[in-house]
Amino acid sequence: MSAIKGTDVRTISVGGGINTRWSDIDKSRLYCIGSLMYSGLAVALHPLTVVKIRRQVAADGNPTTTTNTISQSSSSGLQSIRQYYRGLSVVLSLAVPARIIYVSVLECSRELIDHNARHLLLNPPSSLKPYGEELIGLLPLVAPLSGGIAGGLAAVSSQLAVVPMDVISQKLMVMDDSMYQQRGSAINVTKSIIANEGWQGLFKGFGLSLFTSLPAGTIWWATYAGCKDQLSIYGDPSNDRCLESTSVGSIPLGVRQGCIQILSAFNAAFVSAVLTQPLDTIKTRLQVGSSNSAGIPSNEGIVSIAKELASTSKLYHGLLPRIVHMGIWGSVLSSAYEYLKVVSRKDYNP
C-alpha cells in the first residue's frame, strides 16, 4: 500500500479517496506517465474513431456501407486491420501536447472555480446573508458546475492542437486503397492541404470545432461530476456501517467505487454524445468532405452540408461508435487519471 504524508481532512474526497490539489502534483511525473497511458488508450480505441468518421462522411447515407468499404477494398486480413489504424501516428504525435493543455486548464480552472464557489456559498456577502440556508442548499451543485465550466474551458483551449490533428488524420481515414498507396502519409496530406488551401486549411472548421467542443466538454464533465457526486455515498468507506444491512453493503468497496466511476462516465458519454452529435457530424463533414462514388472526399461548405443533412437521422450517423468510444475512453481514462493524480503527488511514497 502506498502512503501519502500530511493528509488532513481537507484532502479527503466524498468518495473516500484522496482529493489531490493541482498544486500538490509533480507535473513532470503526471505528464510523463499520463502521456504513456493516454497513448495506449488511443491505440486501443482508434478503430472506433475510424468507423465513426467513415459513417459520418458516407455520401449515400447508408451507414452499413461505410464500415464495409474498409474490408472490401483490402486484399489481406492484415491490410484490413491496418486500415482501422489510419491516422494513428498523427493522433499520437499531436494528442500529447493537446492533452497537456487540456489537463492543465481543466485542473487549474476546476480547483479555482470550486474553491471560490464554495467560499461564496459558505461565506456570503452581507447582502446575501439573509439567504444563508438557501445558499448552503446549493453546495451539491458546485461539483457539476465547476466540472462543467472547467471541462468546457479545457476543451476549447486544446483545439489549437486538436483541429490540425483531426483534419489530417480524418483525411487519411477516408482514403481508398489506391489513393492511400499513392499519397497516404501525414506529410503528403499536410503538404496537399497547405498547397491547396494555405496554412489555414489545417484549421478548417476551427470555429465549428470550438462550438462543438465547448458544449461537449461542459456536458460531459458536468454530468460526470454530478453523477459521481450523487453516487459517492455508496463508495465512501465511512458509510460502510450504514450500508451493511443493504445488498449494496455486501459488495466490496473497490468494486463499488469502480462501478460508480464506470456508471458516471457512460452516463456522461451518452448525454454528451446525444446532445452534441449533430455538431460533430457537421464538423467532420466540413473538415473531410463527403466521399463520392470514387471514394474521394469532396469539399463542401457549412450551408451545403446543412442542406444535405436536413434529415435528423443523417445528423446522428456514427452515434453508437461515438457513445462507445466516449464511454470506454471516459471510464478508463477518468479512473486511471484519478489514480495517476495520487501517485503523482509530490509527497507520494510507494
Full pLDDT tens readout for the chain, 350 residues: 333 333 332 232 333 344 677 788 888 888 888 888 888 888 888 888 888 888 877 654 444 444 444 444 444 555 677 888 888 889 888 888 888 888 889 888 988 998 898 888 888 888 888 888 888 888 888 888 888 888 888 888 888 888 899 889 888 888 877 788 777 788 888 888 898 888 888 888 888 788 777 788 788 888 888 888 888 777 766 666 666 656 666 677 777 777 888 888 888 888 988 888 888 888 887 777 544 433 344 445 666 666 666 655 677 877 888 888 888 877 777 777 777 888 888 887 76
Cell numbers placing 146? 465547476
Supply the pTM of this predicted model. 0.64
Mutual angle of helices 142-157 and 88-122, in 10-degree steps:
140
Whole-number Å distance between alpha carbons of 117 and 343: 28
pLDDT of residue 248: 66
For residue 244, the tally of other CB atoms under 10 A from its CB is 10
Whole-number Å distance between alpha carbons of 299 and 341: 43
Whole-number Å distance between alpha carbons of 350 and 338: 16
* pLDDT tens column, 146-183: 888 888 888 888 888 888 998 898 888 888 777 887 77
Radius of gyration of the chain measured on its C-alpha atoms: 23
Cell numbers placing 180? 492511400
Contacts of 146 (CB under 8 A, 6+ apart): 110, 113, 114, 117, 225
Q: What's the chain's length in residues?
A: 350
Whole-number Å distance between alpha carbons of 349 and 333: 23
61 Rama sector, left if φ>0, alpha if ψ -120 to 50, beta otherwise: left
pLDDT of residue 153: 87
Question: Which residue has 499520437 as its cell numbers?
Answer: 92
Does residue 247 sit in helix, strand or coil?
Answer: coil
Q: Which residues on adjacent β-strands are paired with residue 219?
A: none
| Cβ(313)–Cβ(84) below 8 Å | no
